[in-house]
Amino acid sequence: MSLSYESSGVNYDQLDAFKRACQKAAKTTAPLLASHGYAEPANTRGESCYLMEADTHFLAHVEEGLGTKNLVADAVYAQTGKNFYSEISIDTVATIVNDLVTCGALPISVAMHAAVGESAWFTDAKRMEALVEGWAEGCRQAGAVWGGGETPTLRGIVNADAIVLAGSAIGKVEPKSQRITGDVKDGDAIVFLASSGVQTNGLSLCRLIASKLPQGYQTPIGHGDSRTYGEALLAPSVIYVKFVAACQKAGIKLNYVSHVTGHGWRKLMRLDEPFVYEITNPGEEPALFKFLREAGPITLREAYATFNQGIGFAAYVSPDALDATLAAAKASGYTAWHAGTVKKDGDRKAVVIPSLGLEYDGSTLQVR
């Protein structure tokens, strides 16, 4: 039997019901912005980043967490003595700021939330220092200050050997014209930016797979890649802030961008308005994902609905802006390519990947 994401214990239906209740209640508090000189833009609840509109700018706020990736680092550390907490810290900053830039805001400040089950977690100086250095490195890559944080001991809530890593960011869109609004049109070009591996999503399933492998995280992934499973999983996430900043600087209008995380490529159709996202050039599937599909086993359909499959970020631009977008990505150090086209097809909403024989209907994604 092949594995699905739900078999790893994450039930999105239960979570999504809570998220919807939160969004409904949160919406009622929007009038409280007025006394601060802000207002809530229409139809932005449920986007990856919360925006507040003033006369001259939008203020942006994101709270995000790493998920369970650090359990992989813990297991690899226990087995090999190799410490990946610097990478884990970069991952945490990445997951926060990559959400923030989806609205066109650049992060100004990033704060850490690191909750342990026992304060003894911090007595391993090597691991503790890697966590600290990685957070600072993530902030540098994001061009944001590390603005404080919180490090509670939560005995009885967090497992004794574990740490919950999360945090928040403040950003700004200024001038307001740089906001990314979802102004997507029939014929827009889809640009993909490469990921470094699984980055921060699908890790519960990755851990389940490790538990079934005789060599666990020490298993070589093969397919021309010399790394072990653990090393490949723990490659630090790419931070996409400099791509968005470079496009803004070059005057390129990003019609929409998607941070490809939970729900895999289904996230490409995050926008409310129905479009068909036709991916004619999905790129070569990285070795890690081939390994995951075989080891699971995981069907191709489930893999693209769960993992980023080599794509961490997608941008939709006018065909006129395609070359400049690719140039801006390359100049700021990213691997990027023209992956496909946004098409209008009445009320149809779908992601289609003809060369892989895959198609995801809009009803398979409910994140708003």
Query: Scanning residues 180 to 239, which ones bind its own copies (CB under 8 A)?
Result: 204, 207
167: contact with its own copies by CB under 8 A: yes
C-beta of residue 75 within 8 angstroms of C-beta of residue 228? no
Q: Name the one range near its own copies by CB under 8 A: 148-156, 231-239, 273-281, 338-346.
A: 148-156
Whichever of 9 and 319 has its CB closer to its own copies, that residue is 9
Whichever of 147 and 283 has its CB closer to its own copies, that residue is 147
End-to-end CA separation in angstroms for the chain: 31
Residue of 84, 85, 135, 360 that binds its own copies (CB under 8 A)? 135
Closest approach, Cβ 312 to its own copies, in A, equals 18
Dist. CA 247–CA 322, nearest whole Å: 11
Structure tokens belonging to residue 230: 């653990």
Sheet holding 350-353, edge to edge: 256-259, 311-317, 189-194, 336-343, 276-279, 350-353, 358-361
Q: Name the one range near its own copies by CB under 8 A: 80-88, 146-154, 184-192, 356-364.
A: 146-154
172: contact with its own copies by CB under 8 A: yes
170: contact with its own copies by CB under 8 A: yes
168: contact with its own copies by CB under 8 A: yes
Closest approach, Cβ 345 to its own copies, in A, equals 31
Whichever of 210 and 321 has its CB closer to its own copies, that residue is 210
83: contact with its own copies by CB under 8 A: no
* Class of residue 214 by CB neighbours under 10 A (exposed 0-12, middle 13-18, buried 19+): exposed
Residue of 7, 65, 318, 330 that binds its own copies (CB under 8 A)? 65
C-beta of residue 141 within 8 angstroms of C-beta of residue 90? yes
150: contact with its own copies by CB under 8 A: yes
Residue type, 265: W
* Nearest partner of 265 among 190, 184, 328, judged by Cα: 190
Closest approach, Cβ 42 to its own copies, in A, equals 15
Alpha-carbon torsion 330, 131, 213, 224, what sign? positive
Residue of 63, 272, 273, 323 that binds its own copies (CB under 8 A)? 63
Q: Name the one range near its own copies by CB under 8 A: 77-85, 122-130, 185-193, 273-281.
A: 122-130
How do beta strands 276-279 and 350-353 pair? parallel
Residue of 1, 14, 214, 346 that binds its own copies (CB under 8 A)? 14
Beta strands in 156-201 (DSSP E): 163-173, 189-194
Residue of 111, 234, 315, 328 that binds its own copies (CB under 8 A)? 111
Closest approach, Cβ 297 to its own copies, in A, equals 22
341: contact with its own copies by CB under 8 A: no
Whichever of 133 and 225 has its CB closer to its own copies, that residue is 133
Q: Name the one range near its own copies by CB under 8 A: 151-159, 286-294, 300-308, 325-333.
A: 151-159
**Residues in a beta bridge with 115:** 164
Residue type, 359: E
Q: Name the one range near its own copies by CB under 8 A: 13-21, 229-237, 295-303, 330-338.
A: 13-21
Dist. CA 335–CA 287, nearest whole Å: 16
Structure tokens belonging to residue 338: 């023209």
Dist. CA 287–CA 212, nearest whole Å: 19
